Chains A and B, each alone.
Chain A
């Protein structure tokens, strides 16, 4: 059937050059009506760049785009929106200073007598969002909602815009399972109407669950295009990486953990996380599992002092310690790699090198600057170790691909050689190859005696790396799994525990 249908959108020979890098080299892409097309590739392969070239956010340096057989040349995102191409960009969500309704309708507000009809906008927004199971007041500021809600609003906006093509660049990164399912059902409804959908993600299971076809990019070139029902996961991964991926399953923590590094008693923060007791030992990886909003990130933030605890006490190597703000925490050898790198982490205009040595410099104090040569050495070391793809260390970090920014952020905290490293969603937006690398890295760090606290929504990841998993539900620690008890099933059961008991 696909062979007969004409492609909705056909891009041929799309190229894009950046100073010092060829981001896209003669890329072809065909999108068929009613199909979900996965765009796959490592971090920095050029996926986001391809999208931006298609929608006119970047001016392409070559190539042609046909929409329903007619050549188009979108000059800016507005152009492509008008042509019926709706897009969720990777790095951009929406405008936090506008209301939900204004965000949904920006650029195509309903008007009455030439004036924006706010009432209708709100009414329509409520209707649209209800389809996504969101019963929220669209008249409130976007910033007053959680990241997940914002992400759904962004998807809803793109869907509303997409008359012909819907493009989703890593839309599921901050959604939990149910929300992902919801998004899938929306996408399936759209494809049933004959829309063509592009879906970019690093979650291969989502690719196989939703997509019909995949185009794989490597270093800015198309290395293959496959019908997914004819291809296996290994084949796809091998295409992406250009090599075979060693199996990442292993039994963590053969070794006994060392002595207690940090212990908490009645530690908590009102409105964020219920008081909990916990110990973390050197040479141990503690996992934090739970649904979105269950208090995973809040636990991390409380320990690091970013949203400091207001009750209970913490002890560091047996001595009482105050963790009132991040600076104190860093001083005590803690490090925290947050989940939302755009808000909490990267300093976009600073170079990659400066971003990597930032935390180390902050800990040393600004009076003792790190020499440029040493900064270069440190940065080079981590760029190599984490395989961060960049043109040179002087480029502003915002020009890196999403996943590479995430790796650079990780490098920043590794550079401080902390006693406890807190990782909140360490592999979000990171490709399969690097995913395995990061799990290996966690194991290596643990073996060197570092303590790690890893919060993740991916059970498999926790199973692969943690020696102990603490399960959170409704901002409360509900269960602790150790050793052989840790399995995805056990975690899911613990998360869902209450409903089963009832």
Chain B
């Protein structure tokens, strides 16, 4: 049997289960509705950007701007609601529009000017962070009854844990993304692009439309994550969510998606986010460990997953055709 494309996904699932078992073995209290509810709530915005990042990475690209887009959106919302007196719903629509257009514009630059996504989205990252500063350098609180109402929506679990709206929004995002990636032509084109853009083009994949679409999805979801973040914190702050793009990339890779594109699953990303959340929860339960341990463990996991992908890559290529002349390729 040759390796199935699902193997990394199974490894992610196994990692999650192992991590869960290890946590529960030490802190039995971790196996509760309350912890589960917090896991979803606390990671809602990260989960949503990670979905967008999955699209981008699957297509062989990268989007470094998402952390800044979240911060920008949160400030944008706060300013709109406080200073312009706009209803939050209208502000949401505006924010989504702006972030989606921003993503689409980056996609268009990447495609039409043939610039590397790394550079374009790096510029996007600075631009959006700068825009957030322009709007406000201070943290802007959001006080609106509609916000209060949205924040009061939750489902109460038997032990009192609260599954809040934003957790459900994240799960909904994942479900929709699964549909979009695995069951639509657009989704198939994303994978095709990740395999080889040149081949995909000759096979009739509309490169421009797909690339622009992918970055629009990522930008739009970053905007949506910004909305969720704003609901989560009830404030907009231009210094918030620095480095979230890297967390999102980490979640995608730990979720079993190939960093070079073309292979992976949204479901994997979901568990990638949960694994990262679990580590954080463990550290909270422990109470002694520095929160930097989260970063260290995630670093280790990332390394392990990249190694795994390499090994699987070797295993397949070695079977199918003798890889030749490493000398010739180096």
Q: Is the CB of B185 within 8 A of A347?
A: no
A35 to chain B, nearest CB (A): 25
Q: Is the CB of B263 within 8 A of A326?
A: no
A-B contact count (CB 8 A): 136
Counting chain A CB atoms within 10 Å of each CB, which of B182, B189, B194, B324 scores highest? Answer: B324
Range of interface residues on A (Cβ < 8 Å): 35 or more
A209-220 vs B, Cβ < 8 Å mask (1 yes, 0 no): 000000000000
A28 to chain B, nearest CB (A): 24
A397 cross-chain contacts in B, Cβ below 8 A? none
Is A500 interfacial (CB-CB < 8 Å)?
no
B191 cross-chain contacts in A, Cβ below 8 A? 95, 97-98, 102
Cα–Cα, bound, A140→B320 (Å): 13
Q: Is the CB of B203 within 8 A of A359?
A: no
Q: Is the CB of B204 within 8 A of A81?
A: yes
Q: Is the CB of A78 within 8 A of B204?
A: yes
Is B290 interfacial (CB-CB < 8 Å)?
no
A121 to chain B, nearest CB (A): 10
Contact of A306 among B185, B195, B204, B322 (CB under 8 A): B322
B129 to chain A, nearest CB (A): 33
A335-364 vs B, Cβ < 8 Å mask (1 yes, 0 no): 010101001110100000000001100110
Q: Is the CB of A304 within 8 A of B188?
A: no
B244 to chain A, nearest CB (A): 28
A111 cross-chain contacts in B, Cβ below 8 A? 185
A147 cross-chain contacts in B, Cβ below 8 A? 321
Cα–Cα, bound, A343→B189 (Å): 23
Cα–Cα, bound, A421→B262 (Å): 36
B2 cross-chain contacts in A, Cβ below 8 A? 140-141, 144
Range of interface residues on B (Cβ < 8 Å): 35 or more
Q: Which of A131-186 contact B (CB under 8 A)?
A: 140-141, 143-147, 157
Chain A residue, CB-CB nearest to B199: A92
Once A116-B188, A144-B2, A307-B318 are accepted as A-B contacts, the answer to whether A362 and B203 lie under 8 Å apart by CB is no
Counting chain B CB atoms within 10 Å of each CB, which of A98, A102, A111, A363 scores highest? Answer: A98
B329 cross-chain contacts in A, Cβ below 8 A? 344, 347
Q: A97-B194, A116-B182, A306-B325 are in contact. List 18 more A-B contacts (CB 8 A).
A: A77-B203, A92-B199, A92-B202, A94-B199, A95-B203, A98-B191, A98-B195, A102-B191, A106-B192, A106-B200, A107-B203, A146-B320, A301-B324, A326-B324, A326-B328, A362-B327, A363-B327, A412-B328
Can you identify 28 A-B contacts, CB atoms within 8 angstroms?
A77-B201, A77-B204, A78-B204, A81-B204, A92-B198, A95-B192, A95-B200, A97-B195, A97-B263, A106-B200, A107-B189, A116-B183, A116-B185, A140-B2, A141-B5, A143-B320, A297-B322, A306-B326, A307-B323, A326-B325, A327-B327, A336-B324, A340-B321, A343-B321, A344-B328, A345-B324, A358-B328, A412-B328
On B, residues with C-beta under 8 Å from A are 2, 4-5, 179, 182-185, 187-189, 191-192, 194-196, 198-206, 262-263, 316, 318, 320-330
On A, residues with C-beta under 8 Å from B are 57, 76-78, 81, 87, 89, 92-98, 102-103, 106-107, 109, 111, 114-116, 118, 140-141, 143-147, 157, 272, 297-298, 301-302, 304, 306-307, 325-327, 330, 336, 338, 340, 343-345, 347, 358-359, 362-363, 412
